[in-house]
Structure 1
Amino acid sequence: MNAWLPVLTLMTSFLSALVIFRIPNHKPGLRTFVNLTGALAKLGLVVLMLGGVAAGEIYETRLALAPGLELLLRVDALCLLFLTLSAFLWLLTTLYAIAYLGEGPNQARFFGFFSLCVAATTGVALSGTLVTFFIFYELLTLSTWPLVTHKGDEASIAAGRKYLAYTLGGGALLLVGMVWLESLAGPIEFAVSGQLVGLDPANLQIIFFLLVAGLGVKAALIPLHGWLPAAMVAPAPVSALLHAVAVVKAGAFGILRVVYDVYGFDLVQTLGVGLPLAGVAAATIIWGSLRALFQTDIKKRLAFSTVSQVSYIVLGTALVGPLATVGGLVHLVHQGLMKITLFFCAGALAERLKITRVDQIDGAARAMPLTMFAFSIAALGMIGVPPMAGFISKWQLGVGGLEAGQPWVLFVLGTSSLLNAAYFLPLVYRAWFNPPLGEQPAKRERPVMLIAPALVSAAAAVLVGLFAGFEFSPLQWAQLIVSREYGR
């Protein structure tokens, strides 16, 4: 049974996609049933495996693709950190998307590719080899493009072209690096030490650059981030998926795998490639925050915030110290919870009050108090106000920077937090304390499923901070990864 669990987890969303593509648009009830069944099944399987992995169980499936080439699906502690986030947020985003899209056109296409996107993200998390990772990483690109272009207007098509240009270019760099590395070392399996021993350091440095550059496109490292703000023309559920769990997280997760499981801590330090990567991440953190500060469109402000916040994960990874590593790992979950809340709320404001710009948000809390409450909680978490999720991440990264002998990390975190406050607090203040621009609007928080997912994710962002010391919290799980998988 252990060998089948990874396959079953992948199939929950893949089979859902195949079925949904065949459901006519006039049968929304059946489509909703398939969507929610798949999401609940995946979440149940993930919860089952959490207990097993914590107890030392191994879940692994190997399928031969060609002589010397395997498709390996493996559930380890790092996989489950990402996979649990993916399963939980897929369920919330599905509920939100059903309410958001209502009875709009092309829903079979939308939800089919939506589930296929989640299947690809699940495959990325489950990948046990570099080749397996690459297959699902590129499937993620192809399954996300129809979601970005879902509206079919000129702006959406242009954004889709830009998205493909960036991500396929990144995929090409990743492929070159992967082929070069495997031509020297043979098939690369994650979490196997000593695979690169004895190889030429100069080659390994160049290959590291190629792999990180290819993954850095989806992780939105500067100057490879240009596709992300453009993709904000997509519907709000797509934006939430892109920023919280799918595309940007796949890039950051890939960098985690390259640093930890392909090269390893010691080799990264020996080659001297960690500190330059940390520098790029730090520059991205500051640049993304500065760009967010000057955006008048709410979704674009959130997009540049993502550019900044995802690089916290890369920064913790690149410092390769135990505490910094924990900070980067835990932020993978914490950022997802906070950012999906913000996009859920932004989509609800646009749908119910037609608010898309910062100057339109005055008094919005009077018409949508629950929505703005969730938005405010997530915004304060992003700033790093204790005891919420963002504070836990920043504290771990700050202490980790000092432990790694890099005190400049404190300056980066402090500057970023000030900028976070500068571009989030005006939104919160204007919504709660400024009078409405026009006539006092009536309450608009309907349907319930448009609002409830944001409240749940906002509550989760608070709870993972308040109970960070409890067993199975993201922080404790990140510490388990570092202690078990990497000997730290």
Structure 2
Amino acid sequence: MDLWTAFDMGQLVNAAIVTPLIGAILVMLLGKQPNLREAASISTGVVLFSIVLAITTRTFELFPTQSIETATQWISILPNLAIEFSVEPLGVLFALVASLLWIVTTVYAIGYMRGHGEINQTRFFTCFALAISTVMAICFSANLLTLFIFYELLTLSTFPLVTHAGTEDAKRGGRIYLGILLGTSIAFLLFAILITWVTAGTLTFSEGGILSQPSSSTTGLLLVLFCYGVGKAAIMPFHRWLPAAMVAPTPVSALLHAVAVVKAGVFSILKIVIYIFGIESLTQIPTADVMLYIGAATVLLSSCIAMTKDNLKARLAYSTVSQLSYIVVGALLASSVAAAGATLHIATHAIGKITLFFCAGAIMVASHKKNISEMVGLGRVMPFTMAAFAVGALSIIGLPPLAGTWSKWYLVVGALDSDKLIIVAVLMISSLLNIAYLLPIPIKAFFAKPQDGENTEKKAWSTAEIKEAPLPSLLAIGFTTLGCFVLFFYPQPLIALINLIPGVSTGINGGF
């Protein structure tokens, strides 16, 4: 981080946004030299993460005395409206998660793309880098206009990744992906931004929010428009784009579900709640409880649908829909502790879910299996992968000693703090459903025996040689699996960062 001491905050933010763009150019130029192309992609990720670490260090130095640091302005549109970037702790946390997991996903993708013989790999890594650039811009957006522009650019930059295979299924999935995300943005999000501009006279994110009359019908309408306008949060009924996007290669699924797209959605909802409405004002907003219970219904309904899916990626997709609504619920509970749990869940869900998707891709590369019913005994052939899957599953469930424990704990405490016992019940039932649709997968893989009459391939697995995915993919899986434990035993840096967000507090200073 000493490398960046000569740069001010604005220069660091510009560097965080531009570095992946430079990486995308390098990847295109080195397209015919795969080793150099992949080295450029990984190196770009390392440089980006070092920049974000430098921003994080400055944040801890500055933010005990302030809430938002104006960083840099690109284009001035009106006297009080510009494409502008600022630094605040919530955005820094999301940037940390995204920049670190980009490196890990790139390493994984190298093994997956080569092992699976994927075509158009240069385009794949280029779009990967473009997507991360837009994510960095979302993280550091200073106002709703900037957030909206880069939110849309993220949708467009990931569309070629969703349709990467070029099949009819991929094209159909891409149309659903683009149609729902662009449709909700234009019909709801853009409309909400225009109303906010007329009502408040500004779009700038500010401590305590910018809406002066939270009890008005206009503010109630705005909350509904924002919640549904941020389609990437996948609140029902605007969730179908997410399972439709599962036609993409597994590294893309990992990017969509843990690093970029869905986290950009729930991050945007958190940022809007904290800096546009203000957490304390939520109790006065007429529609807050309505959206809270729609989020709670999404948690349960998507978990129930997940239980019916035999395709592993489809089951994980509906699991993601459920887990995203944990964050929406935490944001809408009007509790500083619940908001802290929602913020922490961005990180803990990311590390657990990316592990599960990495394992799903490894299974497909090594054994060509997509359906859970075909995975009986697979743990004897792929013990490392299936053990990692078990760890990721337990983290998503929220059992110690794994990362998901803390975020779910804070969400439950926040629900109790808000006297929302029905939300406590939803969170408890959801965890039981998590157990029901996730744990049988590694249990069957390690302990189930093929029944009489099942195909000889399954029976042969009991004596088969170990056959894991390529080494780069296994290294990535090992890293994220270890991360599930690390975030349980050492969450203090994230806790300290969360406690700097205005109106958000875990009630813990300096550790557990």
TM-score by length of 1: 0.95
Deviates more, 1:137-146 or 1:399-408: 399-408
RMSD: 1.9
What is the CA-CA distance between 1:200 and the residue it aligns to? 8.5
| Counterpart code for 2:16 | T
Correspondence list, 1:377-456, <5 A: 377-435=391-449, 437-440=458-461, 441-456=464-479
Say whether the 8 Å CA contact 1:293–1:422 is kept in structure 2.
yes
Deviations 1:231-286 (A, max 9, x none): 11100000000000211111101111111101112332222332222111111110
Say whether the 8 Å CA contact 1:191–1:485 is kept in structure 2.
no
Is 1:50 matched up with 2:70? no
- Show the counterpart of 2:499: 479
Say whether the 8 Å CA contact 1:5–1:59 is kept in structure 2.
no
Describe the SS at the equivalent of 2:100: helix
- Show the counterpart of 1:212: 227
| Counterpart code for 1:83 | A
Counterpart CA distance in 1 for 2:505 and 2:415 is 21
Deviations 1:210-232 (A, max 9, x none): 122111x2111111101111111
Deviations 1:285-318 (A, max 9, x none): 1011101011000000000000001111111110
Percent identity of the aligned residues?
36
- Show the counterpart of 1:14: 21
Is 1:78 matched up with 2:90? yes
CA separation of 1:94 and 1:426: change in aligned 2, threshold 3 A: same
CA separation of 1:33 and 1:326: change in aligned 2, threshold 3 A: same
Is 1:180 matched up with 2:195? yes
Deviations 1:376-406 (A, max 9, x none): 0010111121121112111111111111111
- Show the counterpart of 1:92: 104
Say whether the 8 Å CA contact 1:341–1:374 is kept in structure 2.
yes
- Show the counterpart of 1:259: 273
- Show the counterpart of 1:64: 75
What is the CA-CA distance between 1:439 and the residue it aligns to? 1.7
Deviates more, 1:253-262 or 1:433-442: 433-442
Is 1:37 matched up with 2:46? no
TM-score by length of 2: 0.91
Deviations 1:122-158 (A, max 9, x none): 1111111100000100000100110000000010000
Counterpart CA distance in 1 for 2:138 and 2:234 is 17
CA separation of 1:487 and 1:261: change in aligned 2, threshold 3 A: farther
Q: How many residues align?
A: 483
Deviates more, 1:391-400 or 1:265-274: 265-274
Correspondence list, 1:117-196, <5 A: 117-172=131-186, 173-193=188-208, 195-196=210-211
| Counterpart code for 1:32 | E
Say whether the 8 Å CA contact 2:363–2:469 is kept in structure 1.
no
Say whether the 8 Å CA contact 1:292–1:304 is kept in structure 2.
yes
Counterpart pick for 1:466 among 489, 492, 499: 489
Deviates more, 1:60-69 or 1:132-141: 60-69
Counterpart CA distance in 1 for 2:432 and 2:316 is 16
Say whether the 8 Å CA contact 1:326–1:482 is kept in structure 2.
no
Counterpart CA distance in 2 for 1:154 and 1:463 is 42
| Counterpart code for 1:175 | L
Counterpart CA distance in 2 for 1:224 and 1:362 is 34
What is the CA-CA distance between 1:194 and the residue it aligns to? 5.8
Describe the SS at the equivalent of 1:439: helix
Say whether the 8 Å CA contact 1:325–1:482 is kept in structure 2.
no
Say whether the 8 Å CA contact 2:280–2:503 is kept in structure 1.
no
Describe the SS at the equivalent of 1:127: coil
Deviates more, 1:278-287 or 1:65-74: 65-74
Counterpart CA distance in 2 for 1:367 and 1:194 is 54
Describe the SS at the equivalent of 2:83: strand
Counterpart CA distance in 2 for 1:159 and 1:457 is 28
CA separation of 1:200 and 1:394: change in aligned 2, threshold 3 A: closer
Is 1:340 matched up with 2:346? no
